[in-house]
Structures are given as C-alpha cells and as structure tokens.
Chains A and B, each alone.
Chain A
Amino acid sequence: MRRRQVNLWLGAALVGLMTAVALVSLFWTPYDVTQLTISRKFEPPSPTNWLGTDQLGRDVVSLLMAASVNSLTVAFVAVGIGGSIGTALGLAASAWGGWVETLVMRLADLGFAFPALLFAIMLAAAFGPSLGNAILAIAFINIPIFARVARGAANQVWTRDFVLAGQVAGLGRLRLTVDHILPNIAAPIIVQATIEFAVAILAEAALSYLGLGAQPPLPSWGRMLAEAQTLMYLAPELAIYPGLCIIAAVLGFGLLGDGLRDVTDPRLTRARA
C-alpha cells in the first residue's frame, strides 16, 4: 500500500513541477527563445546560462522551459478531444446497445488497427506538417481507447440497483447516462486520461522528432533531440537534456496514472477499509 502511495506522490510531484515550469515560461524565461545569437553557440553551463547554449546560441534552459508548454498543450488538447469523443461514443454504445454498440465497437477495432504514425504522416502529406495535425493524429488514436474504457465501465454501472431504479422511475437513457452513469465512470476515465497524457507527450516528441509536429521556431523537446543528433560527438548534452525532460514527463504522468488507479480501484479501496 505504501509503495503505491509513493508512486502517486512522485508522479504528482513530477507533473506538478512540469506544470509549474510551463506556466512560468508563459510569462518569463531567462532568455528569449526566438533570439539567435550565433556568435555564442555551444557555450558551456555558466551562471548566466545554467545549461549552456545550443548550436544557434539559444539558452538551453529557456528552450526546455518553453518546450514544456508545447508538450503539455498537445497532451491536454489531444487527449481532451480524443477522450471526449471516445467517452461519448462508449457511453452511447453502452446506453443503446444493439447496432449502435456493434457499430461503435467495430469502428474502435478499426481505429486500434490503424497505426498512429501512419495517420500522422498521411495528415502531414495532405495538409503539410504542423502542430495542429500532430494534435489531430494523437486525438484520433485516443478515441477508440476511451470508447472501450467508457463502454466497459458504463456496462457495469447499468447493472447497478440505482440505475435500475431510475429506469423504473421512467428516466430516459440520455438522462440516466448524463446524470448517473458518467459521474460513476469518471474515476477510470481520469486514470486513463492521465496515462494517455504520458503516451501523448511521447507521441508529440516522436512526431516533432520526425519533423511532423512542432515547426520552428516553436521549441519542442522532440525537435531539439532531432537537431542534436549530429551534434552527439560535439555536444552530447544537447541531446541528453531534452531526453531527460521527455523521460521525466512520461514517467510523471505514468506514475500519477498508476497511483490514481490504485487509489480509485474499488477492490483495493475495500481492502484498505
């Protein structure tokens, strides 16, 4: 039990730190990240540039801070869109059953079978690479995930006595879903969303690394990694810093998700009581 708590708090601390840094960077970074000072490239860490400067003379700390906004925004927007649509579809499938359920779940199977990266590349080919298209691609892969989780959880709630009572009282399916089913499946959805944040951050980094995500001059950990690739012999730290940031962010959301799951799992809750 104690170890699970550690997961939760460690995850919460990492996520909290990242969010705080991102919020701060909206108003203040040590240096302007769009300002290139090429005469000052590859400077070592110093009191003025805590982690030194990159190949175009930009302050690495400022870049990492500004890039965290990008990662978090993509994760929240993409998981938000994908999660909302997916949850709505899953709830509908559960509420109406029959052909609606079959259709939604087969579509979800189709979505699972479709490689996310391929979808992102298709979008980039059709509309040009952009952060918006990366967000769309990540949102798309989240729809079937949330549809399944929502339907599974909702199906259980539909069998509960208070729902049956509501049905007997003449409440419609839509009303029941919104007022009673949704609040009761909130916990697994939130847990799933937290874990998907981690996946989305990784996906954004991968797409930006491939040039399909954030476009210059918008800072992005994935693009910083890609640009540092040929500099590995010259300045390996330029690849290590964004790499560590990606690890910390993914680990943070992963641990937080796991911790939340343990806390909200009814079986464990009962055991704890």
Chain B
Amino acid sequence: MTFNRIGLVAAFLSTTAFAVPAMAQSVLRIGLQQEPTVLDPTTDATASIDGMLAQNVFESLTTVDESGAVQPQLAESWEISEDGLSYTFTLVENAQFHDGTSFDAEDVKFTFDRAMADDSTNPSKSIWEPIESVTVIDPRTVEVKLSRKDAFLLFNLAQGDASIVASESVDDAATKPVGTGPFRFDGWTRGDRLTLAKFGEHRDAADVAIDKVEFRFISDPAAATAALMAEELDAFPGFPAPELLDQFEADPRFNVVVGSTEGEVILALNNSRAPFDTLEARQAVSHALDRSEIIDGAMYGRAVPIGSFYPPHGPAYLDLTGMYPHDTEKAKEIFEQAGVAGDEIVLRVPPFPYATRSGEIVQAQMAEAGVTVKLENVEWGFWIDEVYKKKNYDMTIIAHTSPNDLGNFARGPDYFYGYQSDDFDALWDGIKTEADMTKREEMLKEAQTYIAENAVHAFLFQLPKLGVYRDGVEGFWAASPVLFQPLAGVTID
C-alpha cells in the first residue's frame, strides 16, 4: 500500500560555467514534492522512495514498461510450470552491486526470505503471501514455488518492494542504498536534495545518457513553479498545481504532458463507526457530491471522474460514475432519515493539493445536503498515525497510487477503511488466482460493481500525472503504471 505525494521534479543543468565544454557532464535534476524519511524501498511504504530509487538504484527480477507490461530485468527469462505453481528464473550474467559485490541467485533468495520472514517490515507483504519457498538451483537459476496460483506475481516482483538487495549492504539501506541499477547512490542532504551518479559497471551503462541525477525536494507548489520558470529545474513529472499548466503550455520553453496514474482519489469513509457504518449514509454521501464541480474546482478540469476503485485506462474498467447521480435533495432526505443531519463529521485531509482543494469543495457540497463537515488539514505524519493506523477519522481524501489495489477492500476490518465483506473476499481470492485474462477482467468488473453498490467510499477522480518538462528533455513516461520512473532512458539536449 503506497500513497502518492505527487511530484517528481526533473531538471538538468549543463554546468558550463566551469566545465570544459567538450567534457561537460550531463546532469539531470529531478525533484520531489515530498522527501522520504528513509531510503529503503523494501521496508518503507513512502511512494517517493520508489519514485527515486526503484529500477534506478535498485533493480528487481522483472520490470514494467510504460504500458504496464512486464519486462525482464535481473531475470533475463523465466519458465512457469503447467500448474502455475512454480517459476524458474534465469538471472542475467553480468550484474553486480555498486559496492563491488557480485549478484547471483543467493541474493535473490536472501531478498525473498527477508521479505517473507515473520518479522519482515516489507510494506507490501501481500506480494510474498503466495510464495512457499525459494530455492537456489545454481548461481544463475532460482526456483520460486507458490502455494496457490498468483496472476500478479511477475508484475508485483517488478515493484520497489521487491528490489533485490544484498546481505552485505542491506543493513545500511535506510541511508546508503546499494543495488544493481544503472545509477548508484551518491549523497543525500536532508531537506534539500538526493543525488545519484551513473554506475559505469552496469551491464547497459553504454545506453545511459545521464551522468548525474539530482532530486530536489520542493514541497511548495509556488516554489516549484518559480524554480521551473527560472530554469533551475527542467522537468516536473508530477506537477502539483494544475491551474498553472495553461501558462506552461503557452511557454515555448516547456512541454506539458498530461498522463494517467494508478491513483484513485477517494473520499474515504470510516466504515467501522457511525455514521458511515450504514449503507444508506454512505450512499447519501455519493449523492451529495458533484464530481464535475470537484474536478473543475480542485483540478481545473484535468482529471477523469471515477465511480469505483479501478483506473479508467485499465483493461477491465467499468464506468460506474452514473450509479449515484448528484442529487442534493435526495442526499438531504437520506441524511435526515439516517439521523446524520445534525452530527458534525470530521474530514481529515493530508497536505497534498489535490486533497486540500477537494476537501473544501466536499465540505460545501455536504453543507448543501444539510451535513456539517469540520475540515481539518493535517500533517502527513499525523495522517499516517491517526487516520491510517488508528482509524481515528470519519472522512478523509487520499489517492491510492498502487497498481491492482482493488484488493484493499479485502484487507479486513483492521485496514483503515474498517470494511469487511465475505462476498468481496471470495471475489478477490478468485481474481488473484485466475490466470485467464478474459475471466479475470469479468471478475474485476464484478468487483468494481460490488464496491460501488456498497458505496464503501465516495469515489472522486483518477489522479492525473501532470508533467512539465523543459524543451529538450526526453524519455520521461507520460503515464505512471507503477510508482517508479526509470531514468536510464532519459536524454537531455
């Protein structure tokens, strides 16, 4: 489970002032809106760790391309047994870690065993749940045995949570990440920047055009805008201020690319306590909201509405936005019947522009339906603690950026939704193990309908990926099918 804090700023600076012109290093300066507290993607759920390091400093057995299709990475090929319960990976020959230690099958086993251990702090334990055992056949071959079929395994193994680490260096990964990727970790000045340098010994080093990457941490949208305008930054793959895109589009120095992310932005309702433990109250919230007004006001029209918990660009998408038409009177009536009308409902909003802006509009729309909403803009740490861990909230607004996360609804009553349904759990079990694509898509549609009919949350819009790039920067993904953004293919003029 990972939450998005939107924003990767990319930028490059040709340091021509003092450099010898012919030998000028190409530096790509990428910034993030939010800085992580540690750098180990296998122990922390912060999205920006994956955004910076996954498939750049670290590599996984597989990777995912811009279309979301699985591609080989540290495993150059694999075979799947007839029954789908055994995967045999053949590893690449010439990979090595940045500290000089070699990469082989033992590292894969170490990584998997560490993530699967009982005391593991891996943020996506569900990836490992179907895995029964990992066996080293020879230094270049690993066999992974499953206890049940898992249709998502190869995709999941590409994620930052499944980054391959070495036993020699993993203890310091929180501050000194060591992987096998095309860039090695160079330095981290907290509160300012994180730098990567090209790893010359990487097997594909010849294809990497960038010598150095600088991630700049700029949390404030206005400051990020100023940095772009001053050409201190060349790109901002997750630009947080949609109202300014028109201006960048009109400026010949910049290219604006609007893509999609896996982030479903929801008005999450706490199903475990009153008033949203009843279906009627939850449905009334959906009736009270006017998505087009929220998208217009909070995102300046740059987002696609959703009616359930599945991205509109996905293959199994079902348009359910019409299930609860905007009807203030109806919402008011239900709220009054359910006795919600007089209550004060707390909406705790994390500090991301999409959330704070939507929050104010949700508050106004709920007021029209006769419900007083108290809006609290809270810090990210407070949100993680009080809302996510302690479930101390009535409503919140958050983007769920992990791919294939419809399974969140099967995470049981302890997850912050406070939702549990045997029917849905059974449905999700079926989806997880169904290998036939057509059948799986049918079941995914069924699951979307189920979630929408039960109005577990109110579903707002799909978080767009708003990228602003300086003219001459090429190779950034327009869409974000995963949390990471490979930089090996990025070029600058």
Contacts and interface: CB of A to CB of B under 8 A. Distances in A.
A232 interface: yes
Interface string A54-70: 01110000000000000
B241 A230 contact: yes
A14 B297 CA distance: 35
B360 A230 contact: no
Contacts of B378: 128
A233 B225 contact: yes
B243 A55 contact: yes
B247 A215 contact: no
A41 interface: yes
Given A233-B225, A233-B247, A41 B297 contact: yes
B361 A234 contact: no
Interface in B213-257: 221-222, 225, 241, 243-244, 246-247
Give the size category of B's interface with A. 20 to 34
Q: Which secondary structure dominates where chain A touches chain B?
A: loop
Nearest to B378: A128
Interface string A13-52: 0000000000000000000001110110100000000000
Interface string B372-392: 001111100000000000000
B376 A128 contact: yes
B360 A38 contact: no
A136 B297 CA distance: 34
Contact of A55 (B247, B293, B297): B297
B364 A36 contact: yes
A215 B374 CA distance: 9
B244 to A, nearest CB: 6
A231 interface: yes
Nearest to B360: A216
Given A128-B378, A211-B377, A217-B364, A233 B244 contact: yes
Given A216-B360, A217-B375, A230-B244, A38 B225 contact: no
Nearest to B379: A125
A94 B266 CA distance: 60
Contact of B377 (A55, A129, A232): A129
Contacts of B360: 36, 56, 216-217
A229 interface: yes
Contacts of B361: 36, 38, 56
Contacts of A215: 374-377
B363 A217 contact: yes
Contact of B243 (A34, A35, A129, A231): A231
B364 A35 contact: yes
Contact of B297 (A56, A128, A231): A56
Interface in B324-369: 359-361, 363-364, 367
Interface in A189-244: 211, 215-217, 229-234
A133 to B, nearest CB: 12
Given A38-B296, A56-B297, A216 B244 contact: no
Given A55-B243, A233-B225, A233-B244, A129 B376 contact: yes
B158 to A, nearest CB: 35
A230 B364 contact: no
B376 A34 contact: no
Nearest to B224: A230
B222 A229 contact: yes
B221 A230 contact: yes
B243 A39 contact: no
B243 A230 contact: yes
A41 B238 CA distance: 25
Given A55-B243, A230-B221, A230-B244, A216 B375 contact: yes
Contacts of A34: 364, 367
Contacts of A231: 243
Contact of A232 (B222, B359, B364, B375): B222
Contact of B363 (A128, A211, A216): A216
Nearest to A37: B293
Interface string A83-112: 000000000000000000000000000000
Nearest to B221: A230
A233 B249 CA distance: 13
A232 B243 CA distance: 10
A231 B245 CA distance: 11
Contacts of A211: 377
Given A34-B364, A34-B367, A128-B376, A230 B297 contact: no
A25 B364 CA distance: 20
A34 B372 CA distance: 12
Nearest to B229: A233
The 10 A-B pairs with the shortest beta carbon distances in the complex, nearest first, are A38-B297, A229-B222, A230-B241, A36-B364, A230-B221, A38-B293, A216-B360, A230-B222, A38-B296, A216-B375
Interface of A: 34-36, 38-39, 41, 55-57, 128-129, 211, 215-217, 229-234
Given A36-B360, A55-B297, A229-B222, 12 more contacts: A35-B364, A36-B361, A38-B361, A55-B243, A215-B374, A216-B377, A217-B363, A217-B364, A217-B375, A230-B241, A232-B222, A234-B244
17 contacts: A34-B364, A35-B364, A38-B296, A39-B296, A56-B364, A211-B377, A215-B374, A215-B375, A216-B363, A216-B375, A216-B377, A217-B375, A229-B222, A230-B241, A231-B243, A234-B243, A234-B244
